[in-house]
Amino acid sequence: MRIGIIGTGVAGSLLAEALGGAPDLAVEAFERAAPGEHAEAGTGLNIGPNALKALRLHLPARHAALRAASLPWRRWFVDLADGTRLFDLDLLEVAEEPGVRIRWSDLYRLLRAPVAGCTRYAHRLEALEEDAAGRLVPVFATPDGLARHGGFDLLVAGDGRYSRLRKLTAGAAEPEHLRICIWRLLVTEAPDCPYDDYGQWFNGNNRLLSFRVPGGAVYIAGAFPLPEDGQIPEAAKTAAAQAALFTPQGAAPCPAVAWMLRQIAAHLPDIHWARLQVAPLSRGTPDGRVLFLGDAAQAMVPTLGQGATQAIEDGVLAAAVLRAGGGVAGIAALRDPRVEFVRRFSVEATDTMMPGADPVAGTRAKTGEGFRAKLRRLYTEVPERV
């Protein structure tokens, strides 16, 4: 079988690596970026313990490399903006190993290095054709013009939330916006940051989330409810507006929040603004010729850090199914019930940011056994065999 992977993001890179050397499988990957183009891309992210378990079981070399390039994510605490503690969890109470914290740029380098030999860079998917055998032939725009590299028995969409391959074969995914703004910032030099591991701070429904990542940097994300039209007001994109959102009324912000507000003011032009959204799950085309993985299959809210985490599960488990002789239907049977649970749970866990919700009651409810049981399921239910 000849397999073409469109996009060497998280799922695409891991799929290509895990299929390497498999009998009767020939793999080629295509990446629209040039080599090294994402060297400083993105901000930071946390990857859940379930992704680490998937790598440990199915791709142990990548598990070791990821551990070595990241910081451990073992603790999750939630405070009010004045420092009042609401929730404090050691992840090892609900998981078999810690998660990790890493920069996106470091993650790209880590995952793409093992598959550089089978990757064609600066290839942007433009169209699809068919060869005489009925196989799909992707047409790429390259610096030298249009390029074709023959027909493929299976094409894999690893090209992200706005997947060109999914759009060409199944139509563009229609997102649902949840009336919450989420912005992201990477502070690259933060020697005076007063905290380390994964924390959240609420002021009403407005939430800050932050943690250290390797290289002395700190990742900060802010979230706040949007007006009924669902648009991000330009007036909100100022240091004064953000300070008003996250400063408790009648009290001083705790040292962590005060430090983040200073970083917002100092790095305002570097903030990336977006809206929280989900998109319908789709695993591939009915004819089995196209497979969707990662964000191309299942864009989800980032509340539980499961975007890249589920892409990791997708990549290694899809590879296990393909190596065993299965196809798109087998991957869907294995992955879709799991992904639907994760999607639902992630939206449920977003309740404290929803307009009108009580973040104190909602956060304290998460200390109960019901929420912890779902976390255990989330963090541990990764199959060893397929």
Tell me the pLDDT tens digit for each residue of 252-269. Answer: 999 999 999 999 999 999
Strand partners, 138: 128
pLDDT at 39: 55
Strand partners, 73: 99
**Residue with the two structure tokens 């649970």:** 341
- Exposure on the CB side of residue 382, measured as CA atoms within 13 A: 28
- What is the number of residues in the chain? 386
Q: Is residue 181 part of a domain?
A: no
In this structure, are residues 63 and 90 in contact, taking their beta carbons and an 8 Å threshold? no
Q: Is residue 308 part of a domain?
A: yes
In this structure, are residues 271 and 166 in contact, taking their beta carbons and an 8 Å threshold? no
User: 151 by DSSP, 3-state: which?
Assistant: coil
User: d(Cα 219, Cα 79) in Å, to the nearest integer?
Assistant: 17
Q: Is residue 187 part of a domain?
A: no
Q: Is residue 198 part of a domain?
A: no
Q: What string of pLDDT tens digits covers the 386 residues of the chain?
A: 999 999 999 999 999 999 999 999 999 999 999 987 765 567 999 999 999 999 999 999 999 999 999 999 999 999 999 999 999 999 999 999 999 999 999 999 999 999 999 999 999 999 999 999 999 999 999 999 999 999 999 999 999 999 999 999 999 888 888 899 999 999 999 999 999 999 999 999 999 999 999 999 999 999 999 999 999 999 999 999 999 999 999 999 999 999 999 999 999 999 999 999 888 899 999 999 999 999 999 988 999 999 999 999 999 999 999 999 999 999 999 999 999 999 999 999 999 999 889 999 999 999 999 999 999 999 999 999 88
User: d(Cα 276, Cα 170) in Å, to the nearest integer?
Assistant: 23
pLDDT at 104: 95
User: d(Cα 386, Cα 383) in Å, to the nearest integer?
Assistant: 7
Residues in CB range of 107: below 8 A, 6 or more apart: 10, 45, 66, 69, 308
User: d(Cα 368, Cα 381) in Å, to the nearest integer?
Assistant: 20
Considering its fold, how many domains does the chain have in total?
1
Evaluate if pTM is beyond 0.75. Answer: yes
- 2, with CB counted inside 10 A (0-12, 13-18, 19+), is middle
pLDDT at 37: 75
- 150, with CB counted inside 10 A (0-12, 13-18, 19+), is exposed
**Residue with the two structure tokens 């019901």:** 370
Dihedral over alpha carbons 323, 327, 329, 331 (to 10 degrees): 40
Q: Is residue 99 part of a domain?
A: yes
Q: Is residue 202 part of a domain?
A: no
CA distances from 329 to 32, 321, 368 (A): 28, 10, 37
Residues in CB range of 197: below 8 A, 6 or more apart: 73, 74, 75, 76, 77, 101, 211, 212
Dihedral over alpha carbons 221, 226, 232, 235 (to 10 degrees): -90
> At 329, phi and psi to the nearest 5?
-65, -40
In this structure, are residues 12 and 293 in contact, taking their beta carbons and an 8 Å threshold? yes
Q: Is residue 183 part of a domain?
A: no
Q: Is residue 76 part of a domain?
A: yes
CA distances from 188 to 12, 142, 191, 236 (A): 28, 33, 10, 24
SS3 content of the chain, % helix, strand, coil (to 5): 35, 25, 35
Instruction: Kindly give the pairing relationship between strand 290-292 and strand 154-157.
Output: parallel
Task: For residue 304, give the CATH number of its domain.
Answer: 3.50.50.60
User: d(Cα 221, Cα 163) in Å, to the nearest integer?
Assistant: 25
In this structure, are residues 362 and 351 in contact, taking their beta carbons and an 8 Å threshold? yes
pLDDT tens-digit readout, 55-112:
999 999 999 999 999 999 999 999 999 999 999 999 999 999 999 999 999 999 999 9
User: d(Cα 346, Cα 349) in Å, to the nearest integer?
Assistant: 5
| Domain interval for residue 161 | 2-175+277-380
DSSP H or E segment with residue 126: strand 124-130
